[in-house]
Structure 1
């Protein structure tokens, strides 16, 4: 049966496919779930006499979620990144190492993509109605877009030792990669606790490692990006040791004057994307990398996105709109990992 419709504001849903199976007394699947980063998390792991009890696992998970929230949340004024964002231009501020690492990774993605990825996108998201300080979804004026764009620019932010610095009045928003980072952190903690078989999902970002008690793999199903409430499976993948991100433009959007405006913005023009690429799924050993690359490829679009994936050896599954519905394309690395297309 299909379980766990993963819901992320900026993500296409991924369905976790759980097959009924007989479990022995020594091993069974435990489930942890709760609120996280404005959405939810769901974790399934195989417990045994050698793994910690579920309550101890829950404490370990919640500790990581709380730490990420204190460091990276843009929805609380006392987080580390919020304090940095409230500081004026030409400010340097000591930051926790995870914040510095994520900012540095975002800078690398920005450089590789000539600005298609940008962690300082917040003012533009707000003016289009998709950010934490937005006042409703609407098409802003050209003047409003220009003013918001003047407050963005990844080149204005840099890491200097243990400090984060900015030379202009810009803000850093880590929401596009924080969930993937969180998944990786929990995965690393599970390894330390000798939990070897699990599936972790946080706000739609997912990693699966090992197998279920009956020896079957963790399976996920990618949905067709229909955007009308229907749940139709596009592709089923068996995973072991890979993180997954699916980014799409059809869950979070608004329409005005008969035109559809996606929540995914192109930082270079300051407006929503408008190409044929409906969704892209990225598979990577690092869920953080999959998270950032999914956004980047979606902004680049079908042609440039596929070319970027081929150039950098990214496993990517593209779903494009056409006159008859949808067509798919995959990168060479995706075909290498899933030579049968992933369907079972």
Structure 2
């Protein structure tokens, strides 16, 4: 998506141990959304070769970029973002689907999660039109907050409308949506054993040819290097990690994350460093990991428990990290024989 930035899981993708003559483990990948993508799948007689499959995957990636990127001025969503208040514009169904998902997550979080925070991201120095990273002046912050709020969006048939000059930013859910789109295409082609990863958001199903599960590494939230905090087995779920450890600035001894709480208009400041979520769809895993990170170590944990969301929290404790996972997460990630 031409520069989209995500706080995501560092994927450690297990490779093939051995396979029979009738099936093989295929893999390909490349650049996308300012980052990378990776596809691994078990090929059987009758399923496509990499040379046939890769163009279809790249077509999906290109479509998402043209529709949802906030880093290209000709995307569908940027045309909408350029409109003044009290305007409508026809939008592709995938955009409307993500707006509906964003509304659901916004309502569920009491407004903490919001797709319209782009003016705030730009003001704090993290958005696509940011000029400098800094703490904004109170008056500028108050003015930007007038242009934030999912309640200003409305879907009318195939049109997306706004009653304030809001700007939609899909960074918190677009990669998960893309993973689901690719996984759906693989299944349409008869591929039911795969691991799809886009900018770190992923979904895995089935097992490798040797019978081993797909294994994913959850990244320790360190600024200086990538270290696997824990390895989990994944089958039939999307996995997403959101964290505050790669995109932030410090001023006067205080840390300001690129993850914003739409309720306050300011970056999160609590001790929750990263959240990993497992969900049936990568889209919901992506959105929920951001939602829970915004809510923080206590409110987020209680929300996950109430809604039976599989979560793995990493929290700062002085100069170290402590982890916490719930029963649902442990049940879903236990490797089964």
Give the corresponding residue for 2:260.
Answer: 265
> Which secondary structure state, in structure 1, belongs to the residue aligned with residue 5 of structure 2?
coil
Deviations 1:156-203 (A, max 9, x none): 001122111100111111121011000000000000001111111101
Q: How is 1:1-344 mapped onto 2 (pairs within 5 angstroms)?
A: 9-19=5-15, 21-229=17-225, 231-323=226-318, 325-338=320-333
In 2, the alpha carbon distance for the partners of 1:14 and 1:225 equals 10
Query: Is the 8 Å Cα contact of residues 106 and 114 (structure 2) preserved in structure 1?
Result: yes
In 2, the alpha carbon distance for the partners of 1:331 and 1:215 equals 27
Q: Return closer, same or farther for 1:79/1:285 CA change in 2, 3 Å cut-off.
A: same
Deviation at 1:21, TM superposition (A): 1.5
Query: Is the 8 Å Cα contact of residues 43 and 199 (structure 1) preserved in structure 2?
Result: yes
Deviation at 1:343, TM superposition (A): 11
- Single out whichever of 135-144 and 242-251 deviates more from structure 2: 135-144
Q: Unaligned regions of 5+ residues in structure 1, if any?
A: 1-6
Deviation at 1:314, TM superposition (A): 0.7
In 1, the alpha carbon distance for the partners of 2:246 and 2:118 equals 19
In 1, the alpha carbon distance for the partners of 2:320 and 2:68 equals 39
> Which secondary structure state, in structure 2, belongs to the residue aligned with residue 26 of structure 1?
coil
In 2, the alpha carbon distance for the partners of 1:41 and 1:19 equals 16
Deviation at 1:334, TM superposition (A): 1.6
What's the TM-score, normalizing by structure 1? 0.93
Deviations 1:105-160 (A, max 9, x none): 10011011111100000010011111100112222222222222121111100112
In 1, the alpha carbon distance for the partners of 2:176 and 2:114 equals 16
Deviation at 1:65, TM superposition (A): 0.8
Q: Return closer, same or farther for 1:133/1:8 CA change in 2, 3 Å cut-off.
A: closer
Q: Return closer, same or farther for 1:83/1:324 CA change in 2, 3 Å cut-off.
A: closer
